[in-house]
Chain A
């Protein structure tokens, strides 16, 4: 186990930024700390680094409790959100800083920097100052500087936050490649679920200082632990149902529910791709009007308005959309193939139909 947090709480004055968080990161893993801003994810990262001290609980790095180990001795590489490059030093001196502090030999420093410049495609830029670099170059310098002294863990705070969309995509792929090559335990913080799903081996999801779920991208996407995760990861239709006459109902939608107390409330969620649409009004049970079509590339997202005014989001391929002859304003029939009950204590609903997923959802597609 590379990094372990046990019952960690961090309070700033009266406010608890992190509440009783426990999770662990395996050696060589690429882990994402995901959550909305103010969720406590950056505080967790800074506690691992030693830039913040936990109010309660313990932090372990490679089995050693590091609560009392100062940041200088934790042997971590930290990349700040805005890179925090030393403005008065050129690229060479920035990357050399950690090595000079650790009193490496001159020759060794020179060789190591050569190696880092090659690895990060920064050759020829060593004399430049941070303000003379592009956003992408700055980030690579920041990561090179963190990695030069051979840390045991690499920590990145919102690594892709400060660059524009196109470069962000390149940097993501580059980070995955880099992690693959170095095989170093890496933890990064992000508020972008797409980014976490695409890049990480595993994801820890935070909200309001609480740990909501830990799992692989597949796990948190397919089996969200609760409503927060379901809403936060990808797009999810969420309905509040009330039991009446053996059925759980929400407007005209009804789902079989046996042995549930009359009047009880529960919530279900389903992904847009679980909604099947047909232009043949007799094919499926429910009717709706196609209110709006969103173009997402290979896929389209359509918004269905039920007669009662309820809105449901569905997803389909461009080809299917064309085959069915769909367009905004057209009346269609639909069914919900699969859904999850989100409040666990009120489980007891049966799936409406036993249809399995036709094709695996493409992660990161914002379906």
Chain B
């Protein structure tokens, strides 16, 4: 009897059947369509629109809008601010994540709450906080003006506000990765003679590479795109303390939509560029694993746990 089952029967029985946990094709199709339509309407269309509007008056006008001295200074300021705040937050994020993931100490949960604080505080409140601290009427105001230091309505204030707002991104990405990795690899490096710095550089950093890259991308995107907090501390001095988002708003208020969208398109391009870099890095890693898999004997794969 057992030999009577034809092979083809088994095959036809197996291919259209679903696993018991799978949804029906209709539900599956519905969910996929909903997700796709949503992405199309809320993500892709606006993105395309940004570029369409930016180029509404042609390439020459687009180029002229970007190279306008005030827009150009906004672009430079934005790059400067993110070039300062992203490295600062990488250093802080690594230190905080390391402390939280690998040590036990008093006040650890307090530190975790503190890291999350910028997420829960409104950016405008964050900006005001710095105005109250460092503004002319603020606590440190008299001392600062005595020493001829200006923080509010100047670049230092914008950097401070941006650092505050982007504070959690790197740390939040790294904490779960570091917790999952544990400390055994570092200990192994120590037993092999590595000192603390070598261990960090060769073992810790590479093992959290993806979390760090992702954190930096998010941190950078937010640093360049931050509006609320920066708006409060910047003072909107055209050509001096306008960042790209502030410049976009200003142009838009002046009913110069193509110029506003031209600057906005740069921010959008930056987002696309960072996504492309991330995808490329992931692809390269996968290819390296693939190559390694192909060399050498493939025996004893069955003993893999």
Contact = CB atoms under 8 A, between A and B. Distances in A.
Real complex partners, A and B?
Answer: yes
Interface of A: 49, 51, 71-73, 76-78, 80, 82, 84-90, 97-98, 101-102, 123-129, 132-137, 145-146, 149, 162-164, 167
Interface stretch (B4-12, B113-121, B129-137, B285-293): B285-293
Contacts of B302: 134
B27 interface: no
Contact of A132 (B206, B292, B303): B292
11 contacts: A49-B191, A72-B194, A84-B184, A84-B187, A87-B185, A97-B189, A101-B194, A123-B296, A125-B296, A135-B303, A146-B191
Given A85-B188, A129-B292, 6 more contacts: A71-B190, A80-B184, A84-B187, A134-B303, A134-B304, A146-B191
Contacts of A89: 206
A-B pairs, 9 with minimum CB distance: A124-B296, A98-B192, A84-B184, A88-B206, A78-B191, A84-B188, A134-B303, A127-B292, A125-B296
A128 B296 contact: yes
A127 B291 contact: yes
B203 interface: yes
A72 B300 contact: no
B interface bracket (residues with beta carbon within 8 Å of A): 20 to 34
B202 interface: yes
A163 B304 CA distance: 9
A71 B190 CA distance: 7
B193 A98 contact: yes
Given A87-B185, A88-B207, A127-B296, A149 B305 contact: no
B305 A162 contact: yes
Contact of A80 (B188, B202, B301): B188
A5 B186 CA distance: 26
Interface in B170-189: 184-185, 187-189
Chain B contact residues, majority secondary structure? helix
B209 interface: yes
A49 B302 CA distance: 34
A134 B194 contact: no
B198 interface: yes
Contact of B188 (A78, A126, A136): A78
Contacts of B187: 51, 78, 80, 84
A311 B24 CA distance: 58
A324 to B, nearest CB: 42
Interface string B60-72: 0000000000000
B184 A97 contact: no
Nearest to B290: A132
Contact of A76 (B191, B206, B296): B191
B193 A149 contact: yes
A89 B188 CA distance: 13
Contacts of A87: 185, 207
A164 B302 CA distance: 12
B35 interface: no
Contact of B295 (A82, A101, A124): A124
A228 to B, nearest CB: 31
Given A77-B191, A149-B192, A167 B303 contact: yes
